[in-house]
């Protein structure tokens, strides 16, 4: 490891060396390109797998588009026409390749400088991705994952290249003519550590480096093709989705009552935007379901089996409802809950056409990827407007949320009801069938438990003494909330101002202002449903059927 010496070489002198044809400098640049390609491919592949709407490359591309002055955009459109986006991606690819080659060269000259260049890529990618609207939490990891992979691969290739260089130098003679890299790196390999690595012949080390480089290039190419394939399938469906016109609702949602949305600073919106909606599923790759190929089958204990295609579904009289859905894994105070405006056809109408036979008490719904949920037949046939949903907040379902159709059942946790990428409804009995999560330690039935959350002030955040505003949400789907109370340091419960809910099936916002002097406070919230049943005080884990306990936060009030 005598390469510190290379780093000490002046930039001018060093620049001539790696730039000379046939020196390892050229190979260092190649190593940079392969390493960065591997990083980008890993980022794209993981993105393609976890969420089709995410792509570090298109994230950066989008940020470039946003940052570019309108005149340049007009110019690009004029010159490249509709291929402007392709031109942008090609341009980005070339720019990244040039920077990657530079990173390889720099790393060859001075350890960690090339890593730093790749690290800066990662941070730029991060900033670009953060600025994109569609992007959700886990996207943040992707540019860092890409940069980390790039650095690791470069480190690996560099150590091979140095072995090669060291052995070449140690021989103190040019390698055979066939070797592309023959010039010894002056000084660099002659350091004190060079001795043990120095072989009598550069052949094996040279071969090892070239194998590593070639292997890296092959893996990056195959991974890139795979990512492109996955992305292509999802992109095709995304394209179809973006052109889909949803029918208007025959039974529209009741309007959001005045005052339902308390405009308290720091409060989550009453209706959760799609891009912020929590996502939970077992799907490693988001199923890309072409609506033209989609059918929903009603099978099992029915008088008539039914096959429903998407066009037929869209032609049914649609119902639109606000419903707050929640995950059974939502901790007290957690954010695995969201409220959306769903458009769909009531499941009970489809089930009525099929005619469940007597004895049936469960519907096992199945998704494209084989996941299942077991829902009480009653919850799908009573008056609660369980929907075969096609729309979410005025748009077709996002791919991540079940495009083209999913179930939404007010009052039940998602794992027993909210099947995304829906393909089958099997009418059956709890005695005969089980949903995916039941044998894995979760209850057969999963009614949502009444709960409440403090969102303002954020837990652990310091606030100024005086009048302190508290606010949050409370929910008891399909029953509704009658009362929310707050208590300070386990004192008396104080009733808060409860905003009108959109419906019994949605969460309600609440707020309360309290005069507080400087000090530390423990604040707790509890909700009571419209039947007068208060939420459970005793703490319990999320498994097997949902967490209980009061959301408790600590607030530091400063003078």
Instruction: Establish if 279 lies at the interface with ligand MTE (CB under 6 A).
Output: yes
Nearest approach in angstroms of CB 397 to Mo ion is 17
Residue 544 preceded by cis peptide, ω within 30: yes
Q: How many Å apart are CA 202 and CA 165, to the nearest integer?
A: 8
Q: Does 144 bind ligand MTE (CB under 6 A)?
A: no
Q: Which residue is nearest to Mo ion (CB)?
A: 327
Closer to Mo ion by Cβ: residue 329 or 509: 329
Helix (H) or strand (E) holding 344: strand 337-346
> Considering beta carbons, is residue 122 or 402 the nearer one to Mo ion?
402
The one of Mo ion, ligand MTE, none whose footprint includes residue 401, by CB under 5 to 8 A per kind, is: ligand MTE
Measured from the CB atom, the residue of 47 and 486 that comes closer to ligand MTE is: 47
Give CB contacts under 8 A, 24+ apart, made by 254-259.
254/502, 254/503, 256/322, 256/502, 257/500, 257/501, 257/502, 258/500, 259/499, 259/500
Distance CA 59, CA 462 (A): 35
CB-count exposure of residue 552 (10 Å: 0-12, 13-18, 19+): middle
Minimum Å gap between C-beta 122 and Mo ion is 32
Q: How far apart are CA 420 and CA 392, in angstroms?
A: 12
When the beta carbons of 280 and 530 are compared against Mo ion, the nearer one is 280
For the bound state, the minimum distance from the C-beta of residue 280 to Mo ion, rounded and expressed in Å, comes to: 4
| CA–CA separation, 101 and 29 (whole Å) | 4
Q: Which residues contact 445 (CB under 8 A, 6 or more apart)?
A: 376, 416, 545
Q: Is residue 281 involved in binding ligand MTE (CB under 6 A)? A: yes
Please give the DSSP secondary-structure letter assigned to residue 514. Answer: E
CA–CA separation, 50 and 227 (whole Å): 11
Which 477-516 residues touch ligand MTE, going by CB under 6 A? none
Q: Give whichever of 326 and 405 is closer to Mo ion, judged by the CB atom.
A: 326
Q: Which residue has the tokens 């405006």?
A: 341
Residue of the chain from 103, 327, 350, 468 that contacts ligand MTE (CB under 6 A): 327
* Shortest distance in whole angstroms from residue 293 CB to ligand MTE: 17
389-408 residues in contact with ligand MTE (CB under 6 A) are 401
Q: Nearer Cβ to ligand MTE, position 115 or 415? A: 415
- With CB under 6 A as the contact rule, the residue among 104, 333, 410, 414 that binds ligand MTE is 414
Cα(528)–Cα(312) distance, rounded to whole angstroms?
42
Toward ligand MTE, which CB reaches closer, 121 or 415?
415
Closer residue to ligand MTE (CB): 155 or 445: 445
| Nearer to ligand MTE (CB atom), residue 279 or residue 449 | 279
Task: Provide, rounded to whole angstroms, the least separation between the CB of residue 280 and ligand MTE.
Answer: 4
- Residue 418 contact among ligand MTE, Mo ion, none, beta carbon within 5 to 8 Å by kind: ligand MTE
CB 333 within 8 A of CB 551: yes
**Which listed option, Mo ion, ligand MTE, none, makes contact with residue 420 (CB within 5 to 8 Å by class)?**
ligand MTE
With CB atoms as reference, the residue minimizing the distance to ligand MTE is 414
Number of residues that bind ligand MTE (CB under 6 A): 18
Among ligand MTE, Mo ion, none, partner that 126 touches (CB below 5 to 8 angstroms by kind) = none
Angle at the Cα of 523 from the Cα atoms of 520 and 525, rounded to 5 degrees: 175
Between 223 and 544, name the residue whose CB sits nearer to ligand MTE.
544
**Shortest approach of ligand MTE to residue 473 CB, angstroms?**
16
- With respect to ligand MTE, which residue has the nearer C-beta, 101 or 407? 407
DSSP secondary structure letters along 435-453: -TTGGGT--S--BPPPEEE
Q: Where along the sequence are the contacts to Mo ion (CB under 5 A)?
A: 280, 327, 414-415
Quick check: 117 and 150 in contact, CB under 8 A?
Answer: no
Supply the Cα-derived Rg of the chain in whole angstroms: 30
Angle at 411 between CA 408 and CA 416, to 5 degrees: 60
Binding mask 328-367 for ligand MTE (x = CB under 6 A): ---------------------------------------x
Q: Which does 157 bind (CB under 5 to 8 A by kind): Mo ion, ligand MTE, none?
A: none
Pairs from 243-246 (Cβ < 8 Å, separation ≥ 24)? 244/291, 244/396, 244/404, 246/314, 246/318, 246/343, 246/390, 246/391, 246/394, 246/395, 246/396
User: Using CB under 6 A, which residues numbered 418 to 457 contact ligand MTE?
Assistant: 418-421
One residue of 3, 108, 209, 278 binding ligand MTE per CB under 6 A:
278
Cβ at position 387, least distance to Mo ion in Å: 18
Which C-beta is closer to Mo ion: that of 89 or that of 280?
A: 280
523 CA to centre of own chain? 32
In contact, 153 and 201? CB cutoff 8 Å: no
| Chain residues 59-98 in contact with ligand MTE, contact rule CB under 6 A | none
Q: Which stretch binds ligand MTE (CB under 6 A): 341-349, 414-422, 467-475, 540-548?
A: 414-422
Residue 332 binds which entry of ligand MTE, Mo ion, none, CB below 5-8 Å type-dependent = none
Q: What is the DSSP letter of 267?
A: P
In the range 218-277, which residues lie near ligand MTE by CB under 6 A? Answer: 277
Choice between 372 and 482, CB closer to ligand MTE: 372
Nearest distance, CB of residue 416 and Mo ion, angstroms = 9
Residues near 189 by Cβ (< 8 Å), separated by ≥ 6?
2, 3, 162, 165, 166, 168, 169, 170, 198
Residues 6+ apart with CB under 8 A from 488: 494, 514, 516, 521, 522, 523
Contact footprint for ligand MTE (CB under 6 A)? 277-283, 327, 367, 369, 371, 401, 414-415, 418-421
């Amino acid at each position: 490891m005598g390469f510190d010496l290379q780093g000490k070489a002046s930039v001018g002198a060093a620049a001539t060396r790696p730039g000379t044809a046939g020196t390892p400098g050229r190979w260092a640049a190649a190593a940079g390109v392969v390493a960065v390609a591997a990083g980008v491919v890993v980022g794209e592949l993981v993105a393609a797998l976890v969420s089709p709407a995410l792509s570090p490359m298109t994230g950066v591309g989008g940020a470039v588009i946003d940052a570019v002055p309108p005149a340049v955009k007009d110019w690009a459109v004029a010159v490249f026409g509709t291929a402007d986006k392709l031109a942008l991606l090609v341009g980005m690819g070339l720019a990244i390749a040039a920077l990657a080659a530079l990173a390889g060269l720099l790393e060859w000259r001075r350890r960690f400088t090339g890593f730093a260049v790749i690290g800066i890529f990662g941070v730029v990618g991060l900033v670009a991705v953060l600025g994109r609207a569609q992007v959700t939490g886990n996207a943040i990891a992707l540019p860092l994952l890409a940069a980390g992979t790039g650095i690791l691969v470069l480190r690996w290739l560099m150590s091979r290249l140095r072995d090669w260089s060291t052995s070449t130098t140690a021989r103190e003679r040019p390698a055979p003519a066939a070797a592309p890299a023959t010039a010894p790196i002056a000084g660099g390999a002659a350091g004190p550590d060079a001795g043990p690595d120095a072989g009598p012949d550069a052949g094996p080390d040279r071969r090892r480096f070239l194998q590593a480089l070639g292997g890296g290039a092959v893996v990056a190419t195959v991974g890139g093709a795979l990512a492109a394939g996955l992305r292509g399938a999802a992109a095709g469906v995304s394209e179809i989705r973006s052109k889909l016109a949803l029918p208007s609702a025959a039974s529209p949602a009741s309007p959001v009552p005045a005052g339902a949305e308390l405009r308290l600073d720091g409060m989550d919106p009453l209706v959760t935007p799609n891009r912020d909606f929590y996502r939970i599923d077992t799907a490693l790759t988001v199923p890309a379901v072409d609506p033209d190929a989609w059918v929903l089958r009603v099978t099992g204990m029915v008088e008539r089996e039914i096959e429903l295609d998407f066009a037929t579904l869209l032609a049914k009289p649609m119902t639109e409802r606000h419903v707050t859905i929640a995950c059974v894994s939502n901790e007290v105070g957690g954010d695995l809950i969201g409220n959306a405006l769903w458009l769909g056809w009531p499941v009970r109408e489809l089930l009525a056409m099929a005619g469940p036979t007597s004895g049936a008490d469960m519907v096992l719904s199945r998704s494209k990827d084989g996941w299942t949920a077991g829902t009480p037949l009653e919850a799908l046939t009573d008056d609660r407007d369980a929907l075969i949903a096609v729309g979410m907040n005025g748009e077709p379902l996002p791919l991540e949320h079940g495009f083209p159709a999913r179930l939404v059942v007010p009052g039940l946790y998602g794992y027993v009801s909210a099947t995304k990428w829906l393909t089958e409804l099997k009418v059956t009995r709890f005695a005969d069938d089980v949903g995916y999560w039941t044998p894995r330690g979760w209850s057969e039935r999963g009614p949502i438990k009444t709960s409440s959350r403090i969102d303002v002030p954020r837990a652990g955040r310091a606030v100024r003494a005086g009048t302190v505003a508290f606010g949050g949400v409370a929910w008891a789907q399909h029953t509704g909330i009658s009362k929310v109370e707050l208590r300070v340091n386990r004192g008396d419960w104080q009733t808060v101002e409860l905003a009108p809910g959109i419906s019994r099936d949605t969460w309600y916002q609440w707020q309360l202002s309290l005069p507080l002097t400087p000090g530390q406070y423990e604040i707790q919230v509890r909700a009571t449903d419209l039947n007068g049943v208060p939420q459970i005080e005793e703490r319990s884990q999320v498994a097997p059927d949902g967490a209980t306990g009061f959301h408790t936060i600590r607030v530091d009030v400063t003078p």
